[in-house]
Amino acid sequence: MATTTSSVSVDQQHPTSRGSTLREIKRNGWAYAFISPFYILYAVFGMFPLLYGVWLSFFKWDGISEMQWIGLRNYTRLFADDIWWYAVYNTIWLFFGATVPQLTIALILAFIINSNYIRGKDIYRAAFFSPFVASSVAISIVFLSIFGSRYGLLNYALSFVGIGPIRWLEDASWIKPSIAMVIIWQWTGYSMIIFLAGLQSINAELYEAAKVDGARTRDVFWHITMPLMRPVILFQVILSIIGAMQNFDIPVMLAGGTQSSAPGGTDRAGLVAMVQLYWTAFKYGEFGYAAAMALILFVLILIFSVIYNRWQGRSPTD
């Protein structure tokens, strides 16, 4: 279809291909009827809000009054909004400070648990996974006690080695590391289970062959495990990028509007993008502006995912 004359054939083909799709749908009508609960629900509760969000981002709307078309003004304002970009910075900081270490630790743990040197694997698996099951609110309340400046467990422990007391959730330079620690603690087990599943799908003969050839554990890890794990890691990283950009509950509980005077705590150091978005919509009543934030966030997630995909997504046989 590269030639100019082909435009005719495109025009001719279009209706036929559309017709054939319709015919296919008709032919498989029952199948579509049976899967309709999914796509109808998705259209109503998934697709519609998504598209409506895009539409909304061109309006000024407080949630009750008439919507007012303002074109791209939400976006021009957003690009000059220093608090928003600081919130985005904090979010990306937390991706590198929490999600990257979390994935690294999870991979190492999965490798260790998968090895033959460990007994009672199930116990470790359950133990590492359990934080993921706990509710974020409960986790935050526990960690609020741990991070307490005066009566906190962490400062109590540190006092024995002569450190502290650190004001974990009040000192602007410690808020993000504190949040990162909780995220790592909560999510490592989950990533580990996914990695473990990936590891177990690697053919054991490859390891045996490497052993016979005299490879050390480190070589096995870098030259056999890692290349074969690439699809699993890619999946996990993309999911983590999406999750990290949407971090909400832990930051809001530790540094959000619940405890401090303003969302994000001291100097807004713990303010992440989703928290700013939520506050903008529901507290400040600027739904259109918040919808623009959501769209920007979506674009950022897309960019990060594509970059990572380009960098690491090649097939392992390349």
Note the residues at the interface with another protein (CB under 8 A): 62-65, 83, 135, 137-138, 140-142, 144-145, 148-152, 167, 169-172, 253, 255, 257-268, 279, 282-285
Closest CB to another protein among residues 229, 253: 253
Distance in Å, CB of 11 to another protein, minimum: 45
The encoded tokens of residue 96 equal 């590198």
Closest CB to another protein among residues 4, 261: 261
**Are the C-beta atoms of 263 and 276 separated by less than 8 Å?**
yes
Distance in Å, CB of 86 to another protein, minimum: 11
What is the distance between the alpha carbons of residues 185 and 192, in angstroms, rounded to a whole number?
Answer: 12
Closest CB to another protein among residues 91, 102: 91
Distance in Å, CB of 170 to another protein, minimum: 4
Strand partners, 68: 60
SS3 69: strand
What is the distance between the alpha carbons of residues 89 and 267, in angstroms, rounded to a whole number?
Answer: 13
Distance in Å, CB of 127 to another protein, minimum: 21
Q: How far is CA 130 from CA 123, 188, 286, in A?
A: 11, 10, 38
Closest CB to another protein among residues 128, 287: 287
Distance in Å, CB of 116 to another protein, minimum: 40
Residue for token digits 């400046």? 149
The encoded tokens of residue 230 equal 């690439």
Q: Which H or E run contains 3?
A: none
Closest CB to another protein among residues 57, 140: 140
The encoded tokens of residue 98 equal 């929490």
**Phi then psi dihedrals of residue 262, to 5 deg:** -140, 150
Closest CB to another protein among residues 153, 197: 153
Question: How many whole angstroms from its chain centre is CA 207?
Answer: 32
Distance in Å, CB of 259 to another protein, minimum: 5
